[in-house]
């Protein structure tokens, strides 16, 4: 399921994108692969959907974070997997 426009997203997808954006090891590229949103579109969605203070805290946290961009990561192989990941049912990448 990919979306070209943030206006086409439903509430469940928006919640999942926000959750993925907050996760340290989920890259913007993974969000783009699953939902079709580029980094700037994710930033705009977060700005629109979150309280101003929460958005500012998130931006400060992810700005320059190496784990949010595949090209900046220090590891190439392997992938971080949360112990609760099996419970995430709306993660289309895990269903491949």
pLDDT tens for residues 40-90?
999 999 999 999 999 999 999 888 776 676 665 555 555 555 555 555 555
Task: Look at residue 25 in the predicted model and tell me its pLDDT.
Answer: 80
For the segment 5-9, the average pLDDT, to the nearest whole number, is 65
Crossing angle between the packed helical segments 11-22 and 52-62, to the nearest 10 degrees:
50
Residue 24 has what DSSP assignment?
T
How far, in Å, CA of 60 to CA of 67, rounded?
A: 14
CA atoms within 13 A on the CB side of 31: 28
Give per-residue pLDDT as tens, 22-45. 988 888 888 999 999 999 999 999
pLDDT of residue 10: 85
Its pTM stands at 0.64
């Amino acid at each position: 399921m990919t979306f070209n426009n943030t206006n086409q997203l439903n509430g469940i997808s928006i919640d999942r994108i926000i959750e993925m954006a907050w996760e340290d090891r989920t890259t913007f590229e993974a969000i783009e692969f699953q939902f079709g949103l580029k980094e700037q579109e994710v930033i705009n969605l977060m700005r629109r959907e979150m309280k101003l203070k929460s958005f500012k805290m998130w931006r400060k946290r992810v700005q320059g974070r190496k784990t949010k961009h595949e090209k900046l990561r220090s590891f190439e192989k392997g992938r971080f997997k949360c112990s609760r990941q099996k419970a995430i049912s709306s993660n289309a990448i895990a269903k491949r």
